[in-house]
């Protein structure tokens, strides 16, 4: 019985490891060492066509940020949904809300992604938040709420909005998430853990 219990524990543990998000192709700006979001207003942004995923993801990310001394706020609460996908229309809402930083999560279809390398975040649409904003909303992948065997890739970006500058970026892979809620919870936890490593949060 003891051996059986150990075997089952190891199987369960390995399954959890497989499902946990794994960060790949991490990039960070030299400026990140001078940045700290403590007590600052930081928007949680989940770029997806699924309103329920956006709301649950942003709420979960906001809770994690707030617990670590950041004034987190979900984007869906202060930007009207009909203006959310336009950088031009959304920007005034961010400015009125006095947002100083953004943590953006965007699910991406694995088979449609390009090979990520650090150089991608220093070119094209990525270096400034408002350039990325419009691009991100036109390249959205809705995570299927099914039990299909799949690997979900998500890019996580952190912007210093006071300078409109990308300071950290990475892609993460999650294999066979058990359900949407657990996937969001694990992804948010992993993202905030990375922020803690960089001392962006407490």
The predicted-structure confidence for 112-151, as pLDDT tens digits, reads as follows 334 456 656 666 778 889 988 988 888 765 555 444 456 7
pLDDT beyond 50 at 162: yes
Residue 16 resides in a domain: no
Whether residue 102 lies inside any domain: the answer is: yes
Residue 98 has pLDDT above 80, yes or no: yes
Highest-confidence segment of 19-28, 30-39, 105-114:
30-39
**Average pLDDT of the residues in 27-55:** 89
Domain range for 62: 21-197
Q: Is 26 a member of any domain?
A: yes
Mean predicted confidence (pLDDT) in 36-48: 92
Return all residues near 71 (Cβ < 8 A) that are at least 6 apart.
39, 40, 41, 42, 65
First to last CA, the chain: 43
Q: How far is CA 125 from CA 121, 130, 138, 169, 186, in A?
A: 8, 9, 12, 13, 27
Count of H helices and E strands in the chain? Answer: 5, 6
What is d(CA 190, CA 196) in angstroms, rounded to the nearest whole number?
Answer: 10
Over residues 141-166, the mean pLDDT reads 75
- Which long-range CB contacts under 8 A does 92-95 form with residues at least 24 apart? 94/43, 94/161
Q: Determine the distance from the C-alpha atom of residue 138 to the mean position of all C-alpha atoms in its chain, rounded to a whole number.
A: 17
User: What are 166's strand-pairing partners?
Assistant: 159
More confident call, 118 vs 167: 167
Q: Is 169 a domain residue?
A: yes
Q: Is residue 50 part of a domain?
A: yes
The CATH number linked to 79 is 3.30.160
């Amino acid at each position: 019985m003891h051996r059986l219990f150990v075997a089952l524990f190891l199987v369960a543990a390995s399954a959890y490891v497989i499902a946990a998000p794994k960060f790949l192709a991490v990039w960070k700006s030299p400026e990140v060492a001078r940045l700290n979001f403590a007590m600052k207003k930081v928007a949680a942004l989940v770029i997806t066509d699924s309103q329920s995923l956006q709301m649950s993801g942003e709420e979960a990310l906001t809770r994690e940020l707030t617990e670590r001394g950041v004034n987190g706020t979900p984007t869906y609460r202060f930007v009207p949904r009909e203006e959310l996908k336009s950088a031009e229309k959304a920007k005034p809402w961010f400015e009125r809300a006095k947002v100083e930083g953004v943590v953006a999560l965007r699910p991406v279809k694995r088979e449609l992604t390009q090979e990520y390398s650090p150089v991608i975040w220093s070119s094209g649409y990525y270096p400034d938040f408002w350039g990325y904003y419009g691009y991100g909303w036109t390249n959205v992948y809705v995570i299927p709420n099914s039990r299909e065997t799949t690997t979900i890739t998500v890019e996580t970006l952190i912007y210093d909005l006071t300078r409109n500058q990308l300071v950290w970026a990475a892609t993460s892979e999650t294999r066979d998430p058990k359900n949407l809620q657990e996937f969001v919870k694990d992804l948010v936890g992993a993202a905030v853990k990375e922020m803690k490593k960089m001392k962006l949060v407490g």
